[in-house]
Structures are given as structure tokens and as C-alpha cells.
């Protein structure tokens, strides 16, 4: 599914100028139909899934309690 730059910016929760800049730099693949750039939205599916997975891993890590140190009760 092809979308315009403003629609893609909303989908990615990014600034429209930043998305256009990335398109012009060639970091986001797009086609130009003579009037506007069209971007295939499915190219971001894998990226967004990986970001979601990474956020869950970080959240799990932050929620893991710190184990008690074995040397705390050792009184030499």
C-alpha cells in the first residue's frame, strides 16, 4: 500500500520534514509520480515489529528485581 509523505509521517509518528528529508537522502525508498512522493508502507512493518520487541525486552529487564548480594550478610 502506497502512502504520501504526510500519511507516512503520521504512521511513523515523525515530523513530516524529517520524513521528506529521509526520502530525499534515499534512506526511505519512494517513487515520485511527478507531483508527490509515494512510499510503500509495508517496508516499515519489520522495523516496527523489531522496535516493539526491543521495547518489551527493555521493559522486562527493568522490571526484573535485583538479586540480593550474597556478601551482604557476610560479616568477616
Q: Over the Cα atoms of the chain, what is R_g?
A: 22
Please report, for residues 24, 31, 52, 56, 76, the alpha-carbon distance to residue 34 in angstroms, rounded to integers and kept in the order given.
14, 9, 35, 41, 79
Q: Which of 50, 47, 51, 53 is nearest to 27 (CA)?
A: 47
pLDDT in tens, 13-68: 889 999 999 999 999 999 999 999 999 988 888 888 998 999 999 999 999 998 87
| Predicted structure pTM score | 0.64
Whether the CB-CB separation of 23 and 60 falls below 8 Å is answered with: no
Amino acid at each position: 500500500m502506497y502512502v504520501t509523505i504526510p500519511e507516512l509521517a503520521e504512521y511513523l509518528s515523525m515530523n513530516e520534514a524529517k520524513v521528506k528529508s529521509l526520502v530525499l537522502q534515499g534512506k526511505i525508498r519512494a517513487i515520485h509520480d511527478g507531483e508527490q512522493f509515494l512510499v510503500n508502507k509495508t517496508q516499515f512493518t519489520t522495523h516496527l515489529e523489531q522496535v516493539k520487541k526491543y521495547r518489551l525486552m527493555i521493559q522486562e529487564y527493568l522490571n526484573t528485581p535485583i538479586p540480593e548480594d550474597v556478601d551482604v550478610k557476610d560479616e568477616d
